[in-house]
Amino acid sequence: MTENPEGTAQNPPPGNRPDQKPGGRRPHGKMRRRIAGALAIGLGLLSVGFLYAAFAPQPQVAQAQPDAALIAKGEELYNNTCITCHGSNLQGEADRGPSLIGVGDAAVYFQVSSGRMPMARQEAQADRKHPLPIFDPETGEGRANLEALGAYIQANGGGPVTPADRGEALRGDDPGRGGVLYRLNCASCHNFTGVGGALSSGKYAPALAPASESQIYTAMQTGPQNMPRFSDQQLTPEEKRDIIAYIKSVNGTNHPGGNALMGLGPTAEGVFIFMVVMSGLVGFAIWLGAKS
C-alpha cells in the first residue's frame, strides 16, 4: 500500500507486485514447459524404438541356430584329424599349421575336399591329392563329414560360408562375361585356359580342370596359398558363377580351333607358328643351296 499526496491509500499496479516478475509471468512456468517437452520427446523415441524392435524383420543369420549335434560331430572329426597342426582352439601351431580363426566353412571345404589337407609334410605348397575317404565329397558319408567339420570351425572361428548350390548350379548364365573377368583376375597365374603355371619360391598356380564348381567358388572366397581372396564387393556372386561357367567351358573338349596345343594359349600358338615358319625357311634355304 502507498499513500497519495492527499493521504488516501492506493494499491500498486498489478504488474508491479513484489511476488511477480514484470509482465505477470511466474518464474517457473517456462522451465516446466521445457521439461514437459523433453519428456514427451523421450517418450516418443522410446515408443518408436520398441515398435521397431517388435516389428522389424530379423536378418537370417540372427535367426539361424547352429545344430549342436552337427557341431559336436565336427569337433570329434577335428580332434581326430586336425588338432595336431591347428591347435585345440583353432589358434594354429608354430611350424605345423596356421590359425583357422576366420577361415570359415568355405576354406575347410576347399582344402579338405581337394585332399590338400591334411598335408603329408611341410612343403612350399599343398598339392592336390585324393581326399581322405571319410571326407570324399563324392560319397554321402564324406559330404556329411565335410559339413560337420565345416560347421564346427564356422561356429568357433567364423568366416566365409560355402554356397548352398553344388555342381552345375554354380555355373553362371554368361560365360562370355566370365571370360572377361577371368582374363582380368585369374589368367596371369592360371593361364588363359586354366592349365596353371609356375610361381616363385616353389609355388605354382594349379590346373583348374580337376577342380569342381564348389572348389573353384570356395577358392575365390578364401584365397588359398598365393591366390588373392575375392570378396563379394570385388566379385559379386553372379560374377563368380560366370567365371566358373567360363572355366568349365574351356576345360572340356571344346576346341573349335583344332589342336589345343596343351591349352597354353597364345604363347604356345606363337611358338608353334615360329617353329613351323623357321623350319620352312631353313628347308627353302637348303633347297636353294643344293640347286645352285
- Cβ-Cβ contacts under 8 Å for 15 (sequence gap 6 or more): 22, 23, 24
CA 253 to chain centre: 31
**Structural domain count, the chain:** 2
240: closest CA among 259, 221, 258? 221
Residues 175 and 240 in one domain: yes
- Total Cβ atoms within 10 A of residue 250: 21
Res 83: pLDDT:
95
Residues 145 and 178 in one domain: no
Residues 125 and 193 in one domain: no
Residues 142 and 170 in one domain: no
Res 52: pLDDT:
76
205 sits in which H/E element: strand 204-205
Would 292 be classed as within a structural domain? Answer: no
Residues 171 and 208 in one domain: yes
* Residue 88: CATH number of its domain: 1.10.760.10
- Cβ-Cβ contacts under 8 Å for 281 (sequence gap 6 or more): none
Would 229 be classed as within a structural domain? Answer: yes
Phi, psi dihedrals of residue 252, rounded to the nearest 5°: -90, -145
Residues 194 and 169 in one domain: yes
CA Rg, the chain, in Å?
A: 37
Task: Mark which of 131, 162, 193 sits at the end of a domain.
Answer: 162
- Cβ-Cβ contacts under 8 Å for 148 (sequence gap 6 or more): 70, 71, 73, 74, 77
Task: Mark which of 119, 136, 162 sits at the end of a domain.
Answer: 162
Would 103 be classed as within a structural domain? Answer: yes
Residues 128 and 90 in one domain: yes
Residues 156 and 180 in one domain: no
Task: Mark which of 141, 162, 183 sits at the end of a domain.
Answer: 162
Residues 122 and 174 in one domain: no
Residuewise pLDDT in 10s, the chain (292 residues): 555 555 555 555 555 555 555 555 555 677 888 888 888 888 888 887 777 777 765 544 444 556 899 999 999 999 999 999 999 999 999 988 999 999 999 999 999 999 999 988 888 889 999 999 999 999 999 999 999 999 999 999 999 999 999 999 999 999 999 999 999 999 999 988 888 888 888 899 999 999 999 999 999 999 998 899 999 999 999 999 999 999 999 876 555 555 666 565 556 667 777 888 888 889 888 888 888 7
Look up residue 62 and give its three cell numbers.
540372427
Would 275 be classed as within a structural domain? Answer: no
Residues 214 and 246 in one domain: yes
Res 62: pLDDT:
41
Res 56: pLDDT:
63
Would 286 be classed as within a structural domain? Answer: no
Verdict on whether the full-model pTM lies above 0.75: no
Q: Domain range holding 242?
A: 165-254
Would 267 be classed as within a structural domain? Answer: no
